[in-house]
Amino acid sequence: MDERVLASQKHQERLAAFWPRKVSRYFTSVLVKTPVTPNQVTILWGLISALNSYTVYLALTGRRELIVLIPLVYLFCIVLDSVDGEVARYKNMANPIGGKLLDGICHRATEFALLMAYAAAGYVITDSPLAVPVGLLLLTGDAMHTYVYERRLTTLRLQAAYTGHVRFSADRVYNRGARWGELTRRQQVGTISGLFNYKSVYAVIAVSYLPPEFFVGGLALLALYKHWQWIALAQRTMTLVAGLATPAPVSPTRPAGTEADAERVAL
């Protein structure tokens, strides 16, 4: 394996990427020898991921044999999601702003496509007019969570100068080169559970096996959960920002403004 390919992987990464990185290096070693750009890789997995929502719709409305295909497609997309960054770093084409923007668009497109698939399947399965307002409730819940999360990033990074992990705590990341056996038991579980993106898919599929009248109700509960998520995220953010804004108590043996106080602000 080309050492430059291995070096193109991040020094510190979320646990969900542990196994995909083991596979992505082989795709990267091939693609770096071609004219393929990182953005093209991102667009490819984004399209595949979004179109997989139609597979979800078909599975929900009776094509049960397609259920096994759904997680396999998402796993392939997770690997390609690692490949685009590796290709960018290998070819010195890294663009943190543009790359993250395109990556975010692909993830949001998949999420919204899934919600539309749920609502459409709900209407087909139950023929209930409630499927439409429930679908709108799902979309607004997801949209609000996205908005609050982006505002959280802006507030913590730019306004509060927060330097810690915004999304992942220290025990939910690993350093490049770490072996699976060196991880804690909790981290090992995280490397496996992180392979399942868009977990609501599997819950909705399970509900689809119940009598039809339960399906729209299950979607309504999912919508309420999504709204609870963004409200809870907003509350956590405000609590964290309030803590950052609170002056550190002055040590009786050290004057205010010393290194100890600076460390508290920087976390």
- The least confident of 38-42, 211-215, 225-229 is 211-215
Report pLDDT digits (tens) over 120-152: 999 999 988 888 899 999 999 999 988 898 888
Which of 22-26, 27-31, 198-202, 243-247 has the least mean pLDDT? Answer: 243-247
Q: If you ran DSSP here, which 8-state letter would residue 165 be given?
A: -
What pLDDT is recorded for position 182? 86
Mean pLDDT estimate for the chain = 83
The pTM for the full model equals 0.80
Question: In this structure, which long-range contacts are made by residues 142-151, counting pairs with CB atoms below 8 Å and at least 24 apart in sequence?
Answer: 142/111, 142/112, 142/115, 142/226, 144/226, 144/227, 144/230, 145/226, 145/229, 145/230, 145/233, 146/108, 147/230, 148/230, 148/233, 148/234, 148/237, 149/230, 149/233, 151/237
pLDDT digits (tens, 9 = 90+) for 10-36: 777 788 888 889 899 999 999 999 999
Dihedral sign for Cα 103, 106, 110, 116, please.
positive
Strand partners, 253: none
- List the domains of the chain with CATH numbers: 3-246 (1.20.120.1760)
Top-confidence residue, 202 or 237: 202
